[in-house]
Amino acid sequence: MDRNQQLFERARQRIPGGVNSPVRAFRAVGGTPRFVARAEGAWFWDANGQRYIDYIGSWGPMILGHGHPAVLEAVQQAARDGFSFGAPTEREVQLAEAIVALVPSMEMVRLVSSGTEAAMSAIRLARGATGRAKIIKFEGCYHGHADALLVKAGSGLATFGHPTSAGVPPEVAQHTLVLEYNNLEQLEEAFALHGPQLACLMIEPIAGNMNFVRASVPFMQRCRELCSRHGALLVFDEVMTGLRVGLGSAQGLYARAIPGFRPDLTVMGKVIGGGMPLAAFGGPRAVMEQLAPLGPVYQAGTLSGNPVATACGLATLQEISQPGFFEALSARTRSLVDGLAAAARAEGVAFSADCEGGMFGFFLLPQLPQNYGAVMKTDGTRFNRLFHGLLERGVYIAPALYEAGFVSSAHSEDDIALTVAAAREVFRTLAA
C-alpha cells in the first residue's frame, strides 16, 4: 500500500484539504502529496522510503541543507535550556545585531514568528509612521495572507484591487492599489493620482511567487524616486530573497546598480530562522521607534524571539557568512540552471531560466517573463508532466507552476548531474 496515499486520506478527515498550507496538496499538479518522513543534506525520504533530491528546501530556509551539524548542535543546546520563556534572551539581541550587520538599511529590527506577521506589521508601521492609509502592491507578489494583502489587480489602469479570498471585506481592500510588476506607466500614474495618500509601496525585488521574476533596475530606481518624492515608504519583502540571493540580500544587488539605493523598511524570514518559525522586519531607527513600547504602533507576539528559533537562525547566519560561501552556492545554482537549459535545448523544448545566489526559477517559455500576465502564458499541462516526470525519477521541485526553487550548500555536483539527466529524459517526452 502507498503510505503517502494512506496518510493523505487520514489527513483529509481532520485537516482541510489534508494539508496545513494549500500548495502542499498537489492540487495544481494532480496526484498524491509526498509525506516527508525525514531529511538529510540535499535529500528527503517520503513515507514509502523513496528518496528525493529536494529543490524546495522548506520553501527557502534550508540554505545549508537539512540537518547541518553546527545548526543541530545549536538547536539541541537551546532546547535543553528551555523551549520558550515569554521574556527577553541574549540570543534575541545577538540575532538582531547579526541581521543589522548584514543588511545596512536596517538600523533596528523586530523579531516575529512568520513572514505573514512581519509583512502585516511592516504595513501597519508604515501607516502609523506616515499617517496615511493607502498602499501599493504588485500583481504576482505574495506578502502573506494578511487581509490587506490578499488583493488582486483591479479592472483598469491604476485602479484599486478587490479581495482574492473569502472572508476579506471589500472595505479592507479598498486602500490597496495593485499594479503590474515592471510597468513604469502604471507606477507613474499611481503616484500622480494617489501620491499624498500613499503610506508605502511593498514589493518583492525578485518575485518568488510567480516563479522567479526580477524587478528591472530602471523600475526599481523609479520606485525609490517616487516614494522619496511623495513621502511614502519603500518596503522590500525579502522573506524569500533575504540572505538567500547573497549576503547583502536583494537590496544589495540593487545598491550596486543604483548609487545610494536602500529601502525604508525590510521584511525578512526563512533563512534568518534556518528552518524554524522566525521572521523579522526592520529599518531606520526613527521609523522603528514608532513601535510599542516606544511609540503608538502596536505589535506583539508570545513566541517572538523564541530561544530555540534564534539559536537556529544564529547558527545558520554564522555558516553562510563564511568566506566563499555564496560564491560556491551561486556557482552550484548556475550549474543547475545552465544544465536544465542545455537539456531542454537539446530536446527542442522552449525553456528560459534565471537564478541568483541559491534561488532559481524556470519557465516553459522562450523568453523570461517580466510580469504576472506573461507568467500565466506558461503551459500548465506541460509543466505538470515535467513535475511528475521528475518526481518519478527522484527529483522534487515545487508542485506548482508559480514557485521558485532553491539550491543548498549540501547539493553536490552529482545531485545536479542526476537532476539534469532526469530532466532531459522528461524533456524528451514533452517534445514527442
Any idea what the CATH number is for the domain that residue 404 is in? 3.90.1150.10
DSSP three-state, residue 418: helix
- 202 has a pLDDT exceeding 70: yes
What's the whole-number mean pLDDT along residues 339-363?
Answer: 98
Q: Contact 144/119 with Cβ under 8 angstroms?
A: yes
DSSP codes joined into one string, 264-305: SEEEE-GGGGBTBS-EEEEE-HHHHTTBTTTSSB----TTTT
Is 254 one of the annotated active-site residues of the chain? no
d(CA 319, CA 313): 10
Give the predicted TM-score (pTM) of the model.
Answer: 0.96
Same structural domain, 35 and 136: no
DSSP three-state, residue 36: strand
Compute the half-sphere exposure of residue 387: CA atoms within 13 Å on the CB side of its CA: 25
User: Which residue of the set 52, 55, 270, 372 is catalytic?
Assistant: 270
Same structural domain, 265 and 280: yes
155 pLDDT tier (thresholds 50, 70, 90) = very low
Residue 154 has what pLDDT?
53
d(CA 179, CA 65): 36
Q: What is the CATH number of the domain that holds 226?
A: 3.40.640.10
Q: Contact 84/235 with Cβ under 8 angstroms?
A: no
- 91 has a pLDDT exceeding 60: yes
Distance spanning both ends of the chain, measured CA to CA: 33
Same structural domain, 347 and 209: no
User: Which residue of the set 55, 134, 137, 142 is catalytic?
Assistant: 142
Contacts of 14 (CB under 8 A, 6+ apart): none
What's the whole-number mean pLDDT along residues 14-33?
Answer: 95
Residue 164 has what pLDDT?
82
Same structural domain, 220 and 122: yes
Same structural domain, 52 and 102: no
Same structural domain, 233 and 249: yes
- 15 has a pLDDT exceeding 50: yes
User: Which residue of the set 55, 137, 181, 237 is catalytic?
Assistant: 237
Q: Contact 282/99 with Cβ under 8 angstroms?
A: yes
What's the whole-number mean pLDDT along residues 389-415?
Answer: 97
What's the whole-number mean pLDDT along residues 160-180?
Answer: 84
DSSP codes joined into one string, 355-405: EETTEEEEESSSS--SSHHHHTTS-HHHHHHHHHHHHHTTEE--SSTT--E
Same structural domain, 262 and 405: no
Number of domains in the chain: 2
Residue 431 has what pLDDT?
87
DSSP three-state, residue 426: helix
Mean pLDDT across the chain: 95
d(CA 88, CA 245): 31
What's the whole-number mean pLDDT along residues 99-113?
Answer: 97
Residue 420 has what pLDDT?
98
- 305 has a pLDDT exceeding 70: yes
% of the chain at pLDDT higher than 70: 98
What's the whole-number mean pLDDT along residues 62-73?
Answer: 98
Same structural domain, 201 and 270: yes
Residue 160 has what pLDDT?
60
- 162 has a pLDDT exceeding 80: no
- 142 has a pLDDT exceeding 90: yes
What's the whole-number mean pLDDT along residues 370-386?
Answer: 93
% of the chain at pLDDT higher than 90: 91
Q: Which of 290, 242, 301 is nearest to 117 (CA)?
A: 301
DSSP three-state, residue 137: strand
Q: Which of 270, 302, 320 is the last residue of a domain?
A: 320
Q: Which of 288, 305, 320 is the last residue of a domain?
A: 320
Strand partners, 304: none
Q: What are phi and psi of 249, to 5 degrees?
A: 65, -175
Tell me how crowded residue 309 is: count the other CB atoms within 10 A of its CB: 27
Segments forming the whole domain that contains residue 401: 3-67+323-431
What's the whole-number mean pLDDT along residues 50-61?
Answer: 98
d(CA 101, CA 107): 9
Q: Contact 156/186 with Cβ under 8 angstroms?
A: no
Contacts of 323 (CB under 8 A, 6+ apart): none
d(CA 52, CA 43): 5
Same structural domain, 168 and 179: yes
Q: Which of 320, 351, 384 is the last residue of a domain?
A: 320
Element (H, E) at 21: none
Q: What are phi and psi of 216, to 5 degrees?
A: -65, 155
Tell me how crowded residue 372 is: count the other CB atoms within 10 A of its CB: 21
Is 142 one of the annotated active-site residues of the chain? yes
Same structural domain, 61 and 77: no
DSSP codes joined into one string, 181-209: TT-HHHHHHHHHHHGGGEEEEEE-SEESS
Residue 166 has what pLDDT?
87
Same structural domain, 168 and 183: yes
What are 180's three cell numbers? 503590474
